[in-house]
Homo-oligomer: A and B are copies of this chain.
Amino acid sequence: MENREIPYKIYLSEKELPDSWYNVRADMKVKPAPLLNPGTHRPMTAQELSQVFCEDLVAQELDNETRYIRIPGEIRDFYKMYRPSPLVRAYCLEKKLGTPAKIYYKFEGNNTSGSHKLNSAIAQAYYAKKQGLKGVTTETGAGQWGTALSMACAYLGLDCKVFMVKCSYEQKPFRREVMRTYGASVTPSPSETTEIGRRILQEHPGTTGSLGCAISEAVEVATHTDGYRYVLGSVLNQVLLHQSVIGLEAKKAMDLYGVKPDIIIGCAGGGSNLGGLISPFMGEKLRGEQDYRFIAVEPASCPSLTRGKFAYDFCDTGMVTPLQKMYTLGSSFIPSANHAGGLRYHGMSSIVSQLYHDGYMEAVSVEQTSVFAAAEEFARVEGILPAPESSHAIRVAIDEALKCRETGEEKTILFGLTGTGYFDMVAYEKYNNGEMSDHIPTDAELAAGFAGIPRFEGNEF
């Protein structure tokens, strides 16, 4: 099979677009722990969750059993605007590295949001529309998720209110403008428009914000405005479910050519891209059908898997969300301002956390100067200018390919290229000018992230 000539880019046809998402929880022996009510420390009920999230999404969030969930036709039609996305054989990078490894990447950046985020944005907007809502609220950091949601809402005619982390709002006026072009309202967070925003501004004057703050504000607006619900771009089970379309397509494309990856690599912020990419492969591993090595790559400056605690924590800084069991740096943790790009969330998807905890995957952390070096090397031979987030995966893919050059092993490496870096040129400029540095948090800085997190039975940190 492997003899069949593999093109630079494998495009599935639109008919081969998956008709169902794959729910990896169905194959997990140990399920991710349930969300807890922060007052009672008891599992959140569907009814409680429906105050915040759309009903169909609550059902997906709580469903640990159904292996395949049908993708509605309207969502599939939207997917056809930019999917199936290409699986690229990195011939040029392999040649440049002089490696016997075979490198593939699933490229999710060929859409205006510039990332994989659109896969879940359209799904969440669709269910909001179906429920008859007027609009949705959300947060955005680097801006990819906010852009994706704006696009989905514009397409469906829903209102979209985005709270954008203040430092990104200021550093990325163009991202803000793209969202406005798609009709969204964009507010820098923390803002004076919410109670929680005012409180955070009072307690931390001059703060540049964090995803955790922006989530608090978006949740407040959603729960206090008639006909609105909150939507989240990562971390949640439902988001990983939607993102499984990445892995399903990647696997189908590889199967067409009889290729099996030895190593699968994804960058990890909240875990949505990583979880989506690995899902169907992980399913095979969980069912004992096939073995793969999975590597989650996170920034050394925000190392939730490699240096965080596996415990119940809030998803937000304002401590208004349910508690989620995950690898976390503590919801009070705010990464160093010198950290460029996304992947700055304090926690990690429960699914990814549980799989990591149970030994099904590895995690490594990398420093940003080495990430931008990999990004530049990649861009110059593969053409695509990668997002800083995606470049974490590139770094480790290159490292693994270089190991193969040493050992002579012809490993097959698959990584997720989640997006493009067109809106990240401030960070690239810093790197090009030799002004970028690394920041590895001290143990004391990490400990501070847990201030105020509740301790209770089963929350051993």
Contact = CB atoms under 8 A, between A and B. Distances in A.
Contacts of A11: 11
A185 to B, nearest CB: 12
Contacts of A154: 379-381
Interface in A122-181: 151, 154-155, 173-174, 177-178, 180-181
A23 to B, nearest CB: 27
A257 interface: no
Interface in A420-452: 420, 422-423, 425-426, 428-429, 432
Contacts of A82: 383
A contact residues, range: 35 or more
Nearest to A384: B112
A155 B381 contact: yes
Interface string A9-41: 101011000000000000000000000000000
A361 B171 CA distance: 45
Contacts of A422: 112, 114, 174, 178, 422-423
Contacts of A7: 13-14, 80
Contact of A432 (B8, B181, B425): B181
Nearest to A154: B380
A194 interface: no
Interface in A394-410: none
A183 interface: yes
A121 to B, nearest CB: 11
Interface string A373-398: 00010011111110000000000000
Nearest to A375: B181
B182 A379 contact: yes
Given A112-B385, A155-B383, A181-B428, 11 more contacts: A8-B14, A9-B14, A112-B420, A173-B425, A174-B422, A174-B426, A178-B422, A180-B429, A181-B432, A182-B379, A183-B380
In the A-B complex, the 5 residue pairs with the smallest Cβ-Cβ separation, listed nearest first, are A174-B425, A8-B80, A154-B380, A177-B425, A422-B422
